[in-house]
A and B are shown apart, each in its own frame.
Chain A
Amino acid sequence: MFCLLTLPASTAFSGFALLLDGIRHPVFQAQSIQVRLGDGHPGAGQLEIVIAEIKVRDYVWKDVQLSCAVFQYKSTVIECEDGYVKIPELVSFPVSLHFYSDTQTIKIKSNLTKNESWTLTLQWKGQSWQGDVTIRNVSLDSIAEWLPDLEQMPKLRSGRVNGTVLFSGSETDLKSAVMDLSIEALSFSDQAGLRAGENIQIAIKAGLDRSKHSNQLYWHSEIFWQQGEVFWQPIYMAAANHHLSMRGVFDGEAMHLLDGSLMFAELGTFQFSGVFDISSKRLRVFELKANKIQLSTLYEQVLQPFLRDTTFAEIEFTGHADWTVRLRDDAVQSIQLDLDDVSIVDARNRFAFYRINARIPWLHEGATIVDLRVQNGHVLKVPLGTVRVPLELNQFNVFLPQLALPVLDGLLKLENFSAGYTEKGWRWKFNGGLSPVSMEALTDALQVQRMHGTLSGYIPEVRYDGTNVSVNGVLQLKVFDGSVVIHNLKLIEPMGLAPHLKADAAMRNLDLELLTGTFSFGKMEGRVDIDVRNLELANWMPVHFDAHLFSSSGNYSRRISQAAIENISALGGEGAVAAIQRSILRFFEEFRYAEIGWRCKLRLNICYMGGIESEPLSRYTLVKGGGVPAITVMGYNRVVGWQELITRLLRITSENEPIIQ
């Protein structure tokens, strides 16, 4: 319904007013449209249109005004000069409008500022239409006002657009469009600054064509990121000729991405394709392929920020990876990951694996076999040799029936290794054994005092619960011609910042000659048992234990050298050897003893020492003499700082000379 309030009296307008209740269109709705035409410049009138409300989809604008200071109506031309469009609290801009009825063309131009303008030209013939938009240096600030104000979305801060858009169509259908735009000095940020971009320059080239014989819309686009930087928590990226290109078809029901390619400089190229169902908003199918991806860049730019709180927070990656990921109905169906000469080195030197080559297939349903080879590496300083690992993968479970892992000159045999991923992270367990490893090689690798002999043993079930490694059963080792049984072994956060080890150990029948020869302590012949209870290491250094060293039962030679006596007495404190005995030392190289004993209860860096018996007195017996010549060594220092004790031992063993106090 509309009302014509005043009719023109002559060709020179004296007044004209029109009131429309509303216009309805599939794309937009307008309500209460007032058109007023009045006198203006000579030969021209003034036009003012006020629309109470315009609604386009979910957007509503009120009191939209178009005014023309110079409005002319000629036989074939309608002109609006010095016009103005105003949408309160949103946007207002100057505009000029020309309508040519003979060519059925409308031209709208807006000079927003001196250097900022846009022009829209639209021409139609019958049911067909075509047009173009030319944009020159238009600030994105005004566009930002049009964008929905969502708290979680970054806000557009600045930017300028240049370029052209050509389009054509028929009736309500778009037939073709070509876009060539460049965006410069683009900046955006959310309030917290966690998703922000600065000084970004991108070029966009895109186009679409409707198929003549079907209702399919073919489209393609290319985006070049030429300048600027983006921080999108937690990833930071700077422009370096990164390039995205995509080509596809839209059939009204689904968006078919025929092929896409994302090229990140220094990283590699990702290719992808898929079908996105519009109505269900689901990925029907999707495939992502990556070839020759540089893992060093992938780790630094993408993975590391996500791995900050894990064991892999500080590692160095080298090598390349290829992978293919296939999705169906939003779920990953298969992954094929190939590693090519990859090395992983922990910056904190806890582990390293060199020259890994692997083919790792994974299926959403069904089992696969991984073929993984590692040239060499180390874990907690223990070197590992070349190994081939035929892992079985079944969804999020890993199984390895048997593996012989070279450790120095021995073999660590793993049996029934199984691992599974749960909500609380990875869990794994295995059992196995250690075939003889030379102690020389092991102690050299661990950079501790060189020891002789071999280390071998049986490993019962070892289990990792996501934080701790525990051994169910006893760990049996052979060392110094004796045996070691370790109970209650538990590693707390072995790869954490402060790993802890707890255990009880019982060593039996150790050969003293091998033991003391190892530590250059002075020769001692005999056999000893050592009980270490409540042992706790923090950062691989002892912080707590109850240790008791005592002579093993049985018949064996019990001799002690002069140097060893001096060293024991040095550890036991001043005056450990009675003065009368001290003089005897000069005459004999070796002495006989009946029994030796030493106790240390370590608490908060203090070693509370004792000897053969739990004597309550201030002194205690370290070596009880027996036979000829015999000697007894007493200890007088009950309380010794652990560091002081270690320092004394180091001095003794490094200088290889006794300390006489």
Chain B
Amino acid sequence: MNNCAKYFLLLSLYLLFASMSMPGFAQANLEVNTPAITSIKQRMQSRHAELVEYYNSGAIGLTQDGMITVRDANAVSLAKRQQVNSLVSAENQDRNALYREIARANNHPEWESKIRSTFGQRWINLARNGWWYQSGGRWVQK
């Protein structure tokens, strides 16, 4: 199993347990699956392999609201900065869609922001050592 697949497996297990103990919306099923969620996850999984290089170099980092952002463009060659922007933008579109779809699949669209923040914390917890994430408005290296 490659690292990318492991990362997503870990996330899935983590979220399975997370769904049992989430205060405020204890019945939220974060592992819910619909055709839309499946296709979003597949896109994210295939993109993750491309993103790892930029997580490792510190060019991109994780935000508290469950998104990613360009942290230090200087860590990427000029020619690749546009590509990094595209990857970040596509990833964030998928992440937004994922949170919205999970909320919809739970029949509670209003849970989207809670699901987003829950995912945000989980992505940070799962981040590898050396990756950057935002905490209290500042960048922190794990």
CB-defined contacts of A498 to chain B, threshold 8 Å: 36-37, 39-40, 97, 100-101
The answer to the question of B89 belonging to the interface, with a C-beta cut-off of 8 Å to chain A, is yes
B40 touches A604 (CB 8 A): no
Question: DSSP class of B's interface residues: helix, strand, loop or mixed?
Answer: helix
The answer to the question of A102 belonging to the interface, with a C-beta cut-off of 8 Å to chain B, is no
The answer to the question of A43 belonging to the interface, with a C-beta cut-off of 8 Å to chain B, is no
B82 touches A234 (CB 8 A): yes
CB-defined contacts of B1 to chain A, threshold 8 Å: none
The answer to the question of A365 belonging to the interface, with a C-beta cut-off of 8 Å to chain B, is no
B78 touches A230 (CB 8 A): yes
Q: What's the minimum C-beta distance from B64 to chain A, rounded to whole angstroms?
A: 20
How would residues 13 to 31 of chain B score, 1 for a CB under 8 Å from any chain A CB and 0 otherwise? 0000000000000000000
A539 touches B72 (CB 8 A): no
CB-defined contacts of B94 to chain A, threshold 8 Å: 497
Q: What's the minimum C-beta distance from B15 to chain A, rounded to whole angstroms?
A: 16
B97 touches A198 (CB 8 A): no
Interface positions, chain A 525-561, Cβ under 8 Å from B, are 538-541, 543
How would residues 80 to 111 of chain B score, 1 for a CB under 8 Å from any chain A CB and 0 otherwise? 01100110011001100100110011000000
Pick the contact of B36: A198, A229, A233, A538 (CB < 8 A). A538
A497 touches B81 (CB 8 A): no
A194 touches B33 (CB 8 A): no
A233–B78 CA distance with the chains assembled, in angstroms: 10
CB-defined contacts of B74 to chain A, threshold 8 Å: 189, 192-193, 196
Which residue of B is nearest A496, CB measured? B97
Interface positions, chain A 230-276, Cβ under 8 Å from B, are 230-231, 233-236, 238
B34 touches A234 (CB 8 A): no
Pick the contact of A305: B34, B70, B85, B100 (CB < 8 A). B85
- Which of A189, A230, A236, A497 has the largest count of B CB atoms less than 10 A from its CB? A497
CB-defined contacts of B136 to chain A, threshold 8 Å: none
B101 touches A538 (CB 8 A): yes
CB-defined contacts of A304 to chain B, threshold 8 Å: 86
CB-defined contacts of B51 to chain A, threshold 8 Å: none
A497 touches B79 (CB 8 A): no
The answer to the question of B35 belonging to the interface, with a C-beta cut-off of 8 Å to chain A, is yes
CB-defined contacts of A229 to chain B, threshold 8 Å: 78-79
The answer to the question of A104 belonging to the interface, with a C-beta cut-off of 8 Å to chain B, is no
CB-defined contacts of A238 to chain B, threshold 8 Å: 79
The answer to the question of A500 belonging to the interface, with a C-beta cut-off of 8 Å to chain B, is yes
Q: What's the minimum C-beta distance from B34 to chain A, rounded to whole angstroms?
A: 5
Interface positions, chain B 34-76, Cβ under 8 Å from A, are 34-37, 39-40, 70, 72-76
CB-defined contacts of B37 to chain A, threshold 8 Å: 498, 538
CB-defined contacts of A309 to chain B, threshold 8 Å: 89, 93
Q: What's the minimum C-beta distance from A103 to chain B, rounded to whole angstroms?
A: 50
The answer to the question of A211 belonging to the interface, with a C-beta cut-off of 8 Å to chain B, is no
The answer to the question of B5 belonging to the interface, with a C-beta cut-off of 8 Å to chain A, is no
Given contacts A193-B72, A305-B85, A538-B101, contact A497 B93 (CB under 8 A): yes
Pick the contact of A497: B32, B34, B40 (CB < 8 A). B40
A605 touches B40 (CB 8 A): no
A497–B99 CA distance with the chains assembled, in angstroms: 12
CB-defined contacts of B93 to chain A, threshold 8 Å: 309, 313, 497
A541 touches B35 (CB 8 A): yes
Which residue of B is nearest A497, CB measured? B97
Q: What's the minimum C-beta distance from B134 to chain A, rounded to whole angstroms?
A: 15
CB-defined contacts of B34 to chain A, threshold 8 Å: 538-539, 541, 543, 605
A605 touches B33 (CB 8 A): yes
Interface positions, chain A 130-156, Cβ under 8 Å from B, are none
A309–B85 CA distance with the chains assembled, in angstroms: 11
A194–B85 CA distance with the chains assembled, in angstroms: 10
A231 touches B39 (CB 8 A): no
A234 touches B40 (CB 8 A): no
Q: What's the minimum C-beta distance from B125 to chain A, rounded to whole angstroms?
A: 25
CB-defined contacts of A281 to chain B, threshold 8 Å: none
The answer to the question of A114 belonging to the interface, with a C-beta cut-off of 8 Å to chain B, is no
B78 touches A538 (CB 8 A): no
CB-defined contacts of B75 to chain A, threshold 8 Å: 193
The answer to the question of A308 belonging to the interface, with a C-beta cut-off of 8 Å to chain B, is yes
Which residue of A is nearest B73, CB measured? A193
CB-defined contacts of A231 to chain B, threshold 8 Å: 73, 78-79, 81-82
Which residue of B is nearest A543, CB measured? B34
Closest 9 CB pairs of A and B: A193-B73, A193-B74, A541-B35, A498-B36, A538-B36, A539-B36, A308-B89, A497-B97, A236-B82
Q: List 16 A-B contacts (CB under 8 A).
A: A194-B81, A196-B73, A231-B79, A236-B78, A238-B79, A305-B86, A308-B85, A309-B93, A497-B36, A498-B37, A498-B40, A538-B35, A538-B36, A538-B37, A539-B39, A543-B35
Q: A193-B73, A305-B85, A308-B89 provided; 6 other pairs, C-beta below 8 A? A: A229-B79, A231-B79, A233-B81, A498-B36, A498-B101, A540-B35
